[in-house]
Amino acid sequence: MELLEFIEKFAEQFEDTDSTEIKSTTEFKKLDEWSSLTALSIIALADEEYGVAIKGDDVKNSRTVEDLFNIIKKRK
């Protein structure tokens, strides 16, 4: 699992946000399009793409895209 691949898949969860805006350091909860529905999409992404179960608290306690990546990578 590579960070750039994860960022790409993460960015696909947003319809109106330009994927070039999303980097490893992006504070994803500050994105205009961020919502609880997007959080659920990210949880589903971790499960479907990486076979890793993350919880709402994992998303809540993460600040950047890379924080989420590290949680998923650690559990893989």
- Torsion angle, alpha carbons of 53, 5, 3, 40, to 10: -30
Would you say residue 50 lies in a domain? yes
What is the number of structural domains in the chain? 1
- Give pLDDT, residue 35: 97
Would you say residue 17 lies in a domain? no
The one-letter amino acid code at 3 reads L
- Give pLDDT, residue 1: 78
- Give pLDDT, residue 4: 97
User: 38-69: buried (b, 16+ CB within 10 Å) or exposed (e) per residue?
Assistant: bbeebbebbeeebebebeeebbeebeebbbbb
Q: What's the pTM value of the predicted model, to 2 decimals?
A: 0.94
- Give pLDDT, residue 47: 98
Domain containing residue 42: CATH number: 1.10.1200.10
Tokens read off for 62: 């993460």
Show the domain range for 71. Answer: 3-12+22-75
Would you say residue 66 lies in a domain? yes
Q: What is the full per-residue pLDDT of the chain (76 aa) written as tens digits?
A: 799 999 999 999 999 999 999 999 999 999 999 999 999 999 999 999 999 999 999 999 999 999 999 999 999 8
